Structure 1
Amino acid sequence: MKKFTLCVISILAIYMGLAGGQSRKPGLTLVERTQHLTDMYRNKAVLRFNSNKFKDYVKGTPRNYSMIVMFTALAPQRQCLICRHASDEYQIVSNSFKQTQGSSKKLYFAMVDFDEGSDVFQMMRLNTAPVFMHFPPKGKPQRADTMDISRVGVSAEEIAKWIVDRTDVQIHVMRPPNYLGTVAAIVLFGLVAGFLYLRRNNLDFLYNKSMWGMTAVFFCLTMISGQMWNHIRGPPFLHQGQNGQIAYIHGSSQGQFVVETYIIMVLNAAVVIGIILLTEAAKGKKDSKQTKIMAVTGLILVSVFFSLLLSIFRMKTQGYPYRLLFD
């Protein structure tokens, strides 16, 4: 009876083991994983992953390809100011890679949105967005596999440079043509030409020195504030840190934010106004009281706002030893 009972228990254990093995979902093989990615990559340059796809194609093994993943939060209610801009730049990089490399099986681009894979954020211990991470073919991501966007920004050129450092895959960034600047220039030229035509009998204002002087000063302030750099690099408007704090000044001398250029322009304008007041006071064409007011006001403007400019320069250039009024 004991032998019979043991035989029955053994048969049941074997049956339950087989049943359990049949219910366990086997993982994807390397060939299946690569083929699925290639098929998806034909339709989209950036693959959108939820938690299941992330585990299958990014964390799953074996892998013989690198995966660049952008963790983001694009939903309007998340109020991620930089996420949309970062997503556009990331799309430019992935499209450039797809156009130059074709359906390469060495590198893939993916995106995980917080609302589609919040458990992935918990798995990767992420509490901010956007984050760019490189997942190598073998091993776990190292510290350098996370892009330091607080230092270099999120421009397509910087993303491509970081990818080259991590994967040795060269990506020539090809931005789509932007005809907005050309159209704006044509419209502006047309308005100026039409205005001159209407005022063709009275063009004395063209000899107004004050108007040309203000135009030249505004042009100089625009150029030295970094507007041309913004036009070329396309930096974000500002940056939201990991703890939710907002950074208006870039922490490196190699980058800047759009709002930073406006701040620099205002500070430089205040210094220019101060110098103009000091110059007018030095001419002595006003009475003594007005001259003193202009001189004191100009001195305060130059001292305070130039000190602020120097302080920002010290913040962006580590090791710069000089300051005026502020640290």
Structure 2
Amino acid sequence: MEECWWLQHVSLTVVALMFMTPEASAHPDQGQKVLEEKVRQLMDWTKRDRVMRMNTAAFNHFVLEKPRNYSVIAMFTALQRFRSCAPCKLAVEEFQVLAGSWQFSSAFSNKVFFAMLDFDESPEVFKTLQVKGGPVVLHLPAKSEFTADDIYNFQVRDISAQHMFTWVDDRTGRWMGNFTTRQPVHFHYPFKLGISVALIGGLVYVLKWKRTFIFSKNFWAVLALCFVILMSSGRMWIHIRGAPFAESKTHTGQTHYIQDTYFFQYVAEMYIISLFYMCITLGMVLLSTAATSRMNIIRRKIMSVTGMCLLVIFFSWLLSLVRLKYHVYPFRILMN
């Protein structure tokens, strides 16, 4: 409810500012000269910085004051260290990649500009637009009215430049071609092929070995457990959000399989978490079996030690993964 109120309030505020701000001059020729000078200054600024870091005065002059015949994609963030905004740093990096893709694309023109405002440098703008937190990206259109669709909120959308590109292309309609600064990663095909072959081979073996498996409680228990592990690892979230298998960072050249923010996840990360859950579950099953079975003492000891090692090691790695994504998480076992 609070988020809906915020969206509506921002929409009404920006629309009011755009239509209530007086023209620079009542004379058309004078207004045209002012517009040409603003565009020239913005183009010069863009040549130096693909993302223009504006203060309150610059934002009022280039964005809120008329005349204006260009759209502005503005990111609102908080980069000061004492703010401890981990998503802000990642969002700015992706925003820079997005702006660079626009600057070097064949469709580059003086109709779309990218700007960034920091809360500690321009608190008045945040207060005026009722931006309560960051990071948030707004599309401030040149002529059409500002709507809720002109808000790219990272709390409900993916933080990658690829997803921001789709949104900017939809809002501006000026981006020609495809987003090419990131190369797609296709390493997931061998994983899918291997899993499919293993499942089909296992099913054929079981059918040939003992067809009464369909009445086996253990079979259905394992099947249900696999489904629970897969879903609790984020499979449905990834399916809904359309997350990539992994991403190659353009500015570092490295491929990342684990996202270091708590509100986003890769497909490869889901497989890693599923493996951790499986090993933890196997360790608990071994401990339970060793405690209740009637096998000889040596085998029970081996099962107990193996189960304990699996449980401790993989649960420790799972906590380490949580701390990587949520840096203030306090708990750990054995490893950092």
Please tell me the TM-score bracket, short chain as reference: 0.5 to 0.7
Deviations 1:190-226 (A, max 9, x none): xxxxxxxxxxxxxxxxxxxxxxxxxxxxxxx9xx889
Gaps of 5+ in 2: 1-24, 184-229, 236-242, 250-255, 316-336
How does the TM-score come out when normalised to structure 1? 0.54
> What residue is the counterpart of 1:186 in the other structure?
none
Q: Quick check: 1:64 aligned with 2:69?
A: yes
Q: Quick check: 1:286 aligned with 2:291?
A: no
Deviations 1:160-219 (A, max 9, x none): 11111211233524149xxxxxxxxxxxxxxxxxxxxxxxxxxxxxxxxxxxxxxxxxxx
> For residue 81 of structure 1, what is the amino acid of its counterpart?
A
Q: Quick check: 1:40 aligned with 2:45?
A: yes
> For residue 179 of structure 2, what is the amino acid of its counterpart?
H
Q: Aligned-pair distance for 1:268?
A: 3.5
Q: Aligned-pair distance for 1:139?
A: 4.1
Q: Residue 229 of structure 1 aligns to a residue in which SS?
A: coil
Q: Give the alignment partner of residue 172 of structure 2, picking from 159, 167, 174.
A: 167
Q: Quick check: 1:142 aligned with 2:147?
A: yes
Distance 1:76 1:260 in 2: 31
> What residue is the counterpart of 2:245 in the other structure?
229
Distance 2:103 2:44 in 1: 13
Q: Aligned-pair distance for 1:103?
A: 5.2
> What residue is the counterpart of 1:94 in the other structure?
99
Distance 1:31 1:79 in 2: 40
> What residue is the counterpart of 2:124 in the other structure?
119
Distance 1:131 1:145 in 2: 11
> What residue is the counterpart of 1:16 in the other structure?
none
Distance 2:120 2:267 in 1: 27
Q: Aligned-pair distance for 1:287?
A: 4.1
**1:1-327 equivalences in 2 (<5 Å):** 29-101=34-106, 104-170=109-175, 172-175=179-182, 229-232=245-248, 237-238=260-261, 248=262, 255=265, 266-277=276-287, 285-287=295-297, 290=300
Q: Residue 152 of structure 1 aligns to a residue in which SS?
A: coil
> For residue 286 of structure 1, what is the amino acid of its counterpart?
N
Q: 1:42 to 1:230 in 2, by over 3 A?
A: same
Q: Aligned-pair distance for 1:290?
A: 4.8
Q: Aligned-pair distance for 1:73?
A: 0.9
Q: Does the CA-based 8 Å contact 1:49-1:111 persist in structure 2?
A: yes
> For residue 114 of structure 1, what is the amino acid of its counterpart?
F
Q: Residue 46 of structure 2 aligns to a residue in which SS?
A: helix
Q: CA RMSD in A?
A: 4.1
Q: Does the CA-based 8 Å contact 2:107-2:174 persist in structure 1?
A: no
Q: 1:260 to 1:48 in 2, by over 3 A?
A: farther
Q: Aligned-pair distance for 1:273?
A: 2.4
Q: Residue 150 of structure 1 aligns to a residue in which SS?
A: coil
Gaps of 5+ in 1: 1-20, 177-220, 239-247, 306-327
Q: 1:231 to 1:256 in 2, by over 3 A?
A: closer
Q: Aligned-pair distance for 1:282?
A: 9.6
> For residue 86 of structure 1, what is the amino acid of its counterpart?
A
Distance 2:160 2:128 in 1: 27
Distance 1:117 1:104 in 2: 27
Q: Aligned-pair distance for 1:90?
A: 0.6
Percentage of matched positions with identical amino acids: 28
Q: Aligned-pair distance for 1:99?
A: 1.0
> What residue is the counterpart of 2:198 in the other structure?
none
Q: Aligned-pair distance for 1:62?
A: 2.3
Q: Aligned-pair distance for 1:267?
A: 2.9
Q: Does the CA-based 8 Å contact 2:43-2:110 persist in structure 1?
A: yes
Q: Which moved more, 1:39-48 or 1:262-271?
A: 262-271
Distance 2:272 2:88 in 1: 21
Distance 1:135 1:167 in 2: 10
Q: Residue 67 of structure 1 aligns to a residue in which SS?
A: strand
Q: 1:101 to 1:41 in 2, by over 3 A?
A: farther
Deviations 1:278-319 (A, max 9, x none): 67789864349959x96xx99xx9xxx9xxxxxxxxxxxxxx
> What residue is the counterpart of 1:214 in the other structure?
none
Q: Aligned-pair distance for 1:266?
A: 3.8
Q: Residue 86 of structure 2 aligns to a residue in which SS?
A: coil
Distance 1:249 1:102 in 2: 32
Q: Does the CA-based 8 Å contact 2:244-2:267 persist in structure 1?
A: no
Q: Residue 74 of structure 2 aligns to a residue in which SS?
A: strand
How does the TM-score come out when normalised to structure 2? 0.53
